[in-house]
Amino acid sequence: MSRDLDITVLLVCIGGVLLMIACWTFYIQGVRRAPKTEEWYDEGDVNGSESDGALFVYPYGSLVIGTASAFVLFGIMNLPEPVETVLLVLCMAAGGIGIIGFTGAFGIPLPWPFVPRWVVDIRKAKRARRRERREAWKTKSNQNKRKK
């Protein structure tokens, strides 16, 4: 890229990186380290669950935006080719992580590194309760069949 880019592009890219840093700081401090209740996790309204935004959309969306901004900034800096290659590979990896993490907003259950441990614990507890209900239902239906 050339150095004669418009100052607006430079400011937008710097803003994208700063947005990513701010969102991830909030995500780490406010969401990952502060366990929420199962009610908060399950709570939803017509437009979707509040937890989807806090767990997936904001952090991983900002990661994708910040990574794209960093990608442009690294191109503007005219770094030596080996350094630029390493930084661009890191940007592509971060972008891939962002895209994978963003899929959680579509209902795909993600493993621990992509969601806080307390979310994984809530999911395990829900699966255990469903398994117990299913076993109780099977036992009850088998007893009803034997009576007939």
pLDDT string in tens for the chain (148-residue length): 455 668 898 999 999 999 999 998 888 888 788 777 777 777 665 445 566 677 788 888 899 999 999 999 988 888 899 999 999 999 999 999 999 988 888 878 888 888 888 888 888 888 899 899 988 888 877 777 777 6
pLDDT of 66 reads 93
pLDDT of 64 reads 92
pLDDT of 51 reads 64
Cβ-based neighbour number of residue 36 at 10 Å = 17
Rg of the Cα atoms in the chain? 22
Q: What CA–CA distance (Å, rounded) separates 102 from 62?
A: 10
Q: What CA–CA distance (Å, rounded) separates 37 from 115?
A: 15
In a domain, 143, yes or no: no
Q: What CA–CA distance (Å, rounded) separates 42 from 49?
A: 7
In a domain, 147, yes or no: no
**Residue range of the domain that includes 58:** 7-116
pLDDT of 4 reads 61
Q: Which two tokens stand for residue 81?
A: 């080719």
In a domain, 79, yes or no: yes
pLDDT of 22 reads 92
In a domain, 144, yes or no: no
In a domain, 148, yes or no: no
In a domain, 132, yes or no: no
Please tell me the pTM assigned to this model.
0.72
pLDDT of 123 reads 83
Q: What CA–CA distance (Å, rounded) separates 24 from 33?
A: 12
In a domain, 111, yes or no: yes
Q: How many domains does the chain have?
A: 1
